[in-house]
Amino acid sequence: MLFTHKIDAEISLILMQPMIAEQIFAIVSAEQDYLNEWLPWPSSQTDIKIVTAAFRDMLLSYADQKSLTCAIIYKGDLCGVAGFNSIDIPLKKALIGYWLSEKFQGNGIMSRTVAYYIRHGFEDMGLEKIETAHAIGNIASQKVIKKVGFIKEGTVKNAENLHGKIVDHIIYGIMKSDWDKKFICD
């Protein structure tokens, strides 16, 4: 495999690559209703070729240092995706995004994964700020964000079209200068 990183005894990350496209496609296909509640893209993932092409794009973006997206492996099972959807080297900041299979919710997987990305971004990549956002009402995402130390920065009206419903986003950020390592799960 191209890139793997062990976060802890239960969680590892694998760089998104075509060889795991079928596993991701299976999760997204099986959990359409669940994922579509807060994500705009699952309904467009109708064919394995679409997913494989997206993974190739993610690898190219990683090679260009514009993103870092990984599949999450929990106790040997692929269960979701997390990563820096965009990296702005000149501004020393990144935007993190993530999703997790419904059956893996409640195990602290995403909190530990996002905490890893924060540490990696600040300590290894030289970032000064990490941002994220979620639609108002997405309580699960809000819990993750607050648990790892993000601070609410504001609200963006009409930020996203979720399958015909226009939603507002809450924007969060964490600065390296304000980062409290107590949030990092080792």
Q: Is the pLDDT of residue 4 over 60?
A: yes
For residue 43, what are its two tokens?
């309904």
Q: Is the pLDDT of residue 102 over 90?
A: yes
Q: Is the pLDDT of residue 186 over 50?
A: no
Please tell me the distance from the alpha carbon of residue 31 to that of residue 179, in angstroms, as a whole number: 34
For residue 38, what are its two tokens?
């807060």
Please tell me the distance from the alpha carbon of residue 121 to that of residue 129, in angstroms, as a whole number: 8
Question: 22 lies in which domain range?
Answer: 4-183
Number of domains in the chain: 1
Question: 0.75 exceeded by the pTM?
Answer: yes
- pLDDT in the model for residue 52: 85
- pLDDT in the model for residue 183: 57
Please tell me the distance from the alpha carbon of residue 165 to that of residue 132, in angstroms, as a whole number: 21
Order of all β-strands in the sheet with 11-15: 4-6, 11-15, 68-74, 77-88, 93-100, 129-135, 165-175, 151-162
CB 73 within 8 A of CB 116: no
Q: Residue 92: exposed, middle, or buried by beta-carbon count in 10 A (0-12, 13-18, 19+)?
A: middle
CA angle (105 as vertex; 21, 168 as ends), nearest 5: 85
> Residue 85 — φ and ψ, nearest 5°?
-65, -30
The band of 43, judged by pLDDT with boundaries at 50, 70 and 90, is: confident
pLDDT in tens, 112-142: 999 999 999 999 999 999 999 999 999 999 9
- pLDDT in the model for residue 184: 54
The CATH number linked to 175 is: 3.40.630.30
